[in-house]
Chain A
Amino acid sequence: MSKIVNQAPAAIAAATLPAAAAHAAWELNMPVGVTELSREIHGLHMLILWVCVLIAVAVFGMLIYSIVKFRHSKGAVAANFDHSTKAEVIWTLIPIAILVGLATPAAETLIKIEDTRDSDLTVKVTGYQWKWHYDYLDQDVSFFSTLERRSDAARQLGSGIDPRSVENYLLEVDNRMVVPVGAKVRVLLTAADVIHSWWVPEFGMKKDAIPGFINELWFRADEVGVYRGQCAELCGRDHAFMPVVVEVKSQAEYAAWLESRRAETQTTALAAAQ
């Protein structure tokens, strides 16, 4: 967005804004993301968007032309035609051709999305009211992931804490899901109480976690970093307060993290047993 658009609200917000937000304000579009799938999805999104824009230019152009040109007040005299088979056949067939053009790449991407074979790592994710549980299958690592404390304090009704003073407000957790960069991660999704939905926009993937059933999705993150998302299915009072945070680390750092986590999980299990 241009500076002009940015300045007016900036002036309004100046009184209440102690620090610049980490994320871009006035964001207009979907993130490109950091996986092959998210990039393809973004490409599809832009393709349909431009197709819609072109159709809009044609249709709205015709409408505006008619509104301007055929005004009663300018003395326009109405013609009397009320159909044209040729025109009607054309504007039935052209949209069908456009749809085929859109459906083909969409189907190709969809087939890739559904192909969960040959994964390097499987994590079972369980939705609870209102937190996530991550279980690294066959790794003896599992933990809960809940809203980080500063966000939790600030989000209480009448807390008096300015959300802008909290870094990654509502998008930070105590224990992040950690995965290695470049690995095909298969996520098995289920829920313990009601339906939740696990979503990280930068991975392009969202799927429902349904009690009693297992869903699956996969992603392969190409870049190291922290990626944030939220529960995307209304799940009760604190639906807005169970973020999904995934940290993508290098292979070595991931291995070290897994080791320390495993030790921690065992200690917790021992403590629980005693």
Chain B
Amino acid sequence: MSTAHTSAGRLEAHHDYHGPQKGWRRWVFATNHKDIGTMYLLFSLTMFFVGGVMALIVRAELFQPGLQLVDPMFFNSMTTMHALVMIFGAVMPAFVGLANWMLPLQVGAPDMALPRMNNFSFWILPFAFTLLLSTLFVPGGGPAGGWTMYPPLVLQTGDAFPMMIFAIHLMGASSIMGAINVIVTIMNMRAPGMSLLKMPLFTWTWLITAYLLIAVMPVLAGAVTMLLTDHFFGTTFFEAAGGGDPVMYQHIFWFFGHPEVYIMILPAFGIVSEIIPTFSRKPLFGYDAMVYATAAIAFLSFIVWAHHMFTVGMPLAGQMFFMLATMLISVPTGVKVFNWTATMFKGSISFEPPMLFALSFLFLFTIGGFSGLMLAIVPADFQYHDTYFVVAHFHYVLVPGAVFAIMAAVYYWLPKWTGHMYDMKLAKWHFWLSTIFVNVLFFPQHFLGLAGMPRRIPDYNTQFADWNMVSSIGAFGFGLSQLLFAYIVFRTIRGGAKATDKVWDGGAPHGLEWTLSSPPPYHSFETAPEVK
């Protein structure tokens, strides 16, 4: 029996006009947080595979030196589109989908605060990505100037240029609406007794993330709009000949871009902070410190942006400031890692799939943190900058960081959402394949970068051949393993052993979501629960 039937059946019993609509109307006119959350998550999964195919094209070309498969221009548009699709299409919508599903359940609310805006913010996305992906078929090909869209190079883009910019405007509008909804829901719809410092950490991290989104998405919109007017209306914001400065674009972009990095990792911190206590059967160590560390990271994210651009030629004082501010981030991030470790210390740990992914996150995200600290050291960054070392760094924090946390969340809450348990054995297979291949894929890229291989190149000297081959093998292994993930998810939606309300009866799950049935009723909490 499917989820749809269960909740529909239950609701028709008392007031049928409040149940989900039939057929396509249920999804197109959706105002229910769970339906919208589901759509976000399925959209994200689709984009994860679209972006993944692009990554595999890149890795296939890099399998050996020489150009075998694609033209360098197409290669560049693959790296550019891979980043845009994965960031704006896969990771961000996945977190918004999780927020939609979980925030009302965690704060004890019937739904999100602004359901129609919720519908709108989701339905913008398919149009935005249709626009973005269709650029691959227009004269001049897809955008190929990198996802950072630095001028003047980006101004050489063909017909794809305005399409890409409008697509980004749409994605930004969608994100801002999603963020407003999150803030209004958390601020106004918490159950009686749930003070801010009693909120679950996933809710906390999302609250802070939502403020980051509202602060920086308009900055990105501003930056790309200036590109648009430079290209079509003769302004010279970023052109020296007219009194502008190409580096100013980079400052504006990274003022968005660095908080954006934390937008993609703070909710992941929240997820891991939910899962580790459950399967360690012990309360989270240092809850207050976790909240304050998240806020500290969010604050610091606004004053470190120029560490992405140490090589543009900044004054010495500027380089010093951004180096020190960036290094400071490792303090609150360290607090988080230590607190997770302390949560497990003297616990009673079991290794269900969500915990496995959370543990993998803990180890591998920390490796990404180490390379981040290395990159902060300006003189060393002069060597690392724009090499595969950087590629390895941000993929470590984004793939076994953000993406593994999303997978951990899905394995943690999927039985709650569907009412079905998934196949634990298959999920463990998925975990081991993913963890092994992700390291085969990304660890050698540290070596490539240190040995001197620049990023964003389709061909390379033969000295880089060996590690590139290893990395490409890892990429195909990792990509194929994700088919298993899709299979597990879809099979669980369709059926499986019945999940209990608490789902993780052997563990110690904590939070209001576990007091509801699995799957939860259509309007989640129709009467607000009391929180003591």
B-binding residues in A (CB < 8 A): 9, 13, 16, 21-31, 37, 40-41, 44-45, 48-49, 52, 55-56, 59-60, 62-63, 66-67, 70-73, 76-84, 87-88, 91-92, 95-96, 99, 102-103, 106-107, 109-111, 113-114, 154-159, 161-164, 168-171, 193-195, 197, 199, 201, 204-208, 210-213, 215-216, 229-241
Contact = CB atoms under 8 A, between A and B. Distances in A.
A25 to B, nearest CB: 5
Given A25-B465, A201-B383, A237-B72, A83 B320 contact: no
Contact of B379 (A29, A109, A171, A208): A109
A155 B459 contact: yes
Given A45-B380, A231-B454, A239-B76, 19 more contacts: A9-B466, A27-B447, A40-B379, A48-B373, A59-B337, A66-B345, A70-B280, A78-B280, A78-B508, A83-B288, A157-B70, A204-B382, A205-B382, A207-B311, A212-B241, A213-B246, A236-B153, A237-B76, A240-B460
B242 to A, nearest CB: 9
Interface stretch (B196-204, B324-332, B395-403): B324-332
A158 to B, nearest CB: 7
A82 B283 contact: yes
Contact of A107 (B320, B342, B452): B320
Nearest to A215: B313
Contact of B341 (A24, A25, A66, A168): A66
Contacts of B124: none
B284 interface: yes
Contacts of B49: none
A111 B246 contact: no
A234 B67 contact: no
Given A28-B450, A83-B285, A171-B461, A197 B382 contact: no
Given A21-B462, A206-B386, A78 B347 contact: yes
A234 B153 contact: yes
B252 to A, nearest CB: 15
A237 B437 CA distance: 30
A44 B377 contact: yes
Contact of A195 (B246, B282, B348): B246
B461 A168 contact: yes
A148 to B, nearest CB: 12
Q: Which 4 A-B pairs have the closest CB atoms?
A: A212-B240, A23-B463, A240-B457, A27-B451
Nearest to A91: B338
Contact of A155 (B66, B328, B379): B66
Contacts of A216: 313
A66 B347 contact: yes
B306 interface: no
Contacts of B416: none
A103 B283 contact: no
Interface range on chain B (Cβ under 8 Å from partner): 35 or more
A80 B280 CA distance: 11
A213 B245 contact: yes
A70 B316 contact: no
Contacts of A73: 350
Nearest to A238: B72
B13 interface: no
Contact of A199 (B284, B331, B454): B454
Contact of A26 (B239, B373, B466): B466
Interface of B: 64-68, 70-73, 76, 144-146, 150, 152-153, 156, 239-241, 245-247, 280-289, 311-313, 316, 319-320, 323-324, 327-328, 330-331, 334-335, 337-339, 341-342, 344-350, 359, 362-363, 366-367, 370, 373-374, 377-380, 382-383, 385-387, 447, 450-452, 454-463, 465-467, 469, 506, 508
Contacts of A13: 465-466
Contact of A234 (B146, B337, B359): B146
A201 B452 CA distance: 6
B246 A211 contact: yes
A210 B508 CA distance: 57
A170 B382 contact: no
Contact of A56 (B76, B359, B370, B374): B370
B210 to A, nearest CB: 27
Contacts of A76: 347-349
A5 to B, nearest CB: 10
A33 to B, nearest CB: 9
Contacts of A41: 379-380, 382-383
A45 B383 contact: yes
Contacts of B76: 234, 236-237, 239
A207 B313 contact: yes
A84 B289 CA distance: 11
A169 B65 contact: yes
B344 A233 contact: no
A70 B313 contact: no
A63 B370 CA distance: 16
Nearest to B241: A212
B346 A44 contact: no
Nearest to B382: A206
A106 B377 contact: yes
A63 to B, nearest CB: 6
B456 A239 contact: yes
A62 B311 CA distance: 38
A111 to B, nearest CB: 7
Given A169-B462, A239-B456, A102 B65 contact: no
Contacts of A215: 312-313
A110 B462 CA distance: 33
Contact of A103 (B153, B312, B323, B348): B323
Nearest to B239: A212
Contacts of A55: 370
B312 A210 contact: yes
B461 A154 contact: no
Given A66-B344, A199-B454, A232 B385 contact: yes
B180 to A, nearest CB: 33
Contacts of A169: 65, 461-462
A60 B76 CA distance: 38
Given A45-B383, A48-B374, A237-B72, A170 B281 contact: no
A70 B348 CA distance: 5
A23 B282 CA distance: 53
B201 to A, nearest CB: 13
Nearest to B377: A106
Most buried by B among A41, A103, A208, A230: A208
Contacts of B247: 210, 213
A206 B370 CA distance: 22
A233 B386 contact: yes
Given A45-B380, A230-B454, A159 B66 contact: yes
19 contacts: A26-B466, A29-B451, A30-B451, A48-B374, A70-B347, A83-B285, A91-B335, A110-B378, A110-B379, A155-B67, A157-B70, A157-B71, A163-B459, A206-B385, A206-B386, A234-B455, A235-B153, A236-B76, A237-B73
